[in-house]
A and B are shown apart, each in its own frame.
Chain A
């Protein structure tokens, strides 16, 4: 391993040293293609982020793919209703690894203002593993850009080997999650116990 100081010194002289892991993560981090998938109000802010004023293309994510097969990132932009939840999980399952999820807005995080609704899923993290949460109702486009940069930072430090390697490099880790079914009163199951456990209140 080269020390950080020597590496920086060499970089100033025009010699760039890198590792395969850094190069691979740098390339991946700067070309995150989101699924063009809007659910509700937040999707409009997501579109605004992709337009001229905020220009998400500066961060390599302007290529919104209509097909999950070509996307790296699912931005859950809006309220996930129970009627929509199976479709959201199915779309996630169809995305190839490595894949990431941003829960955009209060509704995607927890149900938000519509939490008391009978048809509203109280947070997409009950069914899918979420990497980044953005609060706001709706979050401003800057907040989405911030979430994207945070995701890039997360990608940059992913180890390729070892016990801490990410899910997509671990053959035993699940890459698909069970799709809930429509029940008579609710979706079944209403949450994935492997992903989400009710917080224990400690007093």
Chain B
């Protein structure tokens, strides 16, 4: 398989105007991923599927990731003169990163037997701009998995033929796999040493005054 850089160059040539970015992965798995821009995503996906050298005909895994609003702290060593002596001091910069939802696709090729190529798509935010283009017309295997991401994360896939809730019931309003979801409180009494359940139970009983 070509390297991710080569694929990126070829994609940029094939789909003019496409903005691509390689997201590095520092873990020993070394599975780096490619961030696509939403406007050209479907055209890029079609190229990846149909290109004679790549032929990613099989989208194995599709899932969502929730990244809430957060502050990224980065430490930079800065030379400063303190009390007349030059010292290296850690300067901590905090940058607020707005939250977004992410769709992750793992592609393999059954014809060429290579892979994985990891694609990522990002929504504008977590509230009102939660649209992503659907890859179901390109790879049918995304159909149920995108429905699952819609159900559990609340990502709306444009172009999906049948976007309904899949695991929870239709009347359900929440998106339980988001990090800020809190489940219904029905932990009345728990004779359990399980820390989290016991904590939830105590909180419930304190609120109801039954402790």
A–B contact, 8 Å CB criterion (strictly below): yes
Interfacial residues, chain A to chain B (CB-CB below 8 A): 83, 115-119, 122, 182-186, 190-191, 198-201
Q: Is the CB of B173 within 8 A of A185?
A: yes
Q: Is the CB of B189 within 8 A of A83?
A: no
Q: Is the CB of A199 within 8 A of B189?
A: yes
Give chain B's interface secondary structure class.
loop
B210 within 8 A of A: yes
User: What is the CB-to-nearest-CB distance from B136 to chain A, in angstroms, rounded to a whole number?
Assistant: 24
Of A83, A122, A182, the residue contacting B186 (CB under 8 A) is A122
Of B168, B191, B194, B205, the residue contacting A119 (CB under 8 A) is B168
CB contacts (< 8 Å) of B173 on chain A: these are: 184-185
Contact count band on B: 20 to 34
Q: Is the CB of B172 within 8 A of A201?
A: no
Q: Is the CB of B172 within 8 A of A198?
A: no
User: What is the CB-to-nearest-CB distance from A47 to chain B, in angstroms, rounded to a whole number?
Assistant: 25
* Nearest 5 interchain pairs by C-beta: A198-B188, A118-B183, A186-B184, A199-B189, A184-B173
B211 within 8 A of A: yes
Q: List 27 A-B contacts (CB under 8 A).
A: A83-B168, A115-B194, A115-B197, A116-B183, A116-B197, A116-B200, A117-B183, A118-B183, A119-B167, A122-B186, A182-B169, A182-B170, A182-B172, A184-B171, A184-B173, A184-B174, A185-B173, A185-B184, A190-B184, A191-B186, A198-B189, A199-B188, A199-B191, A200-B189, A200-B210, A201-B189, A201-B205
Q: Is the CB of B188 within 8 A of A182?
A: no
CB contacts (< 8 Å) of B191 on chain A: these are: 199
Q: Is the CB of B184 within 8 A of A122?
A: no
Question: How far, in whole Å, are A116 and B200 apart by their CA atoms in the complex?
Answer: 10
CB contacts (< 8 Å) of A115 on chain B: these are: 194, 197
Give chain A's interface secondary structure class.
loop
User: What is the CB-to-nearest-CB distance from B116 to chain A, in angstroms, rounded to a whole number?
Assistant: 29
Q: Is the CB of B210 within 8 A of A201?
A: yes
Question: How far, in whole Å, are A185 and B194 apart by their CA atoms in the complex?
Answer: 25
CB contacts (< 8 Å) of B194 on chain A: these are: 115
B181, B186, B191: most-surrounded residue (chain A CB, <10 A): B186
User: What is the CB-to-nearest-CB distance from A135 to chain B, in angstroms, rounded to a whole number?
Assistant: 13
Q: A190-B186, A200-B210 are in contact. Are A118 and B171 (CB under 8 A)?
A: no
For window 196-211 of B, CB contacts with A under 8 Å fall at 196-197, 200, 205, 210-211
B176 within 8 A of A: yes
Q: Is the CB of A122 within 8 A of B187?
A: yes
Residue of A nearest to B188 (CB): A198
Question: How far, in whole Å, are A201 and B188 apart by their CA atoms in the complex?
Answer: 10
Question: How far, in whole Å, are A199 and B210 apart by their CA atoms in the complex?
Answer: 10
Residue of B nearest to A113 (CB): B194
CB contacts (< 8 Å) of B196 on chain A: these are: 116
CB contacts (< 8 Å) of B210 on chain A: these are: 198, 200-201
User: What is the CB-to-nearest-CB distance from B181 to chain A, in angstroms, rounded to a whole number?
Assistant: 7
Question: How far, in whole Å, are A119 and B172 apart by their CA atoms in the complex?
Answer: 11
Q: A122-B186, A185-B184 are in contact. List 17 more A-B contacts (CB 8 A).
A: A116-B183, A118-B183, A118-B184, A122-B187, A182-B171, A183-B171, A184-B172, A185-B172, A185-B174, A186-B184, A186-B186, A191-B186, A198-B188, A198-B189, A199-B189, A201-B205, A201-B211
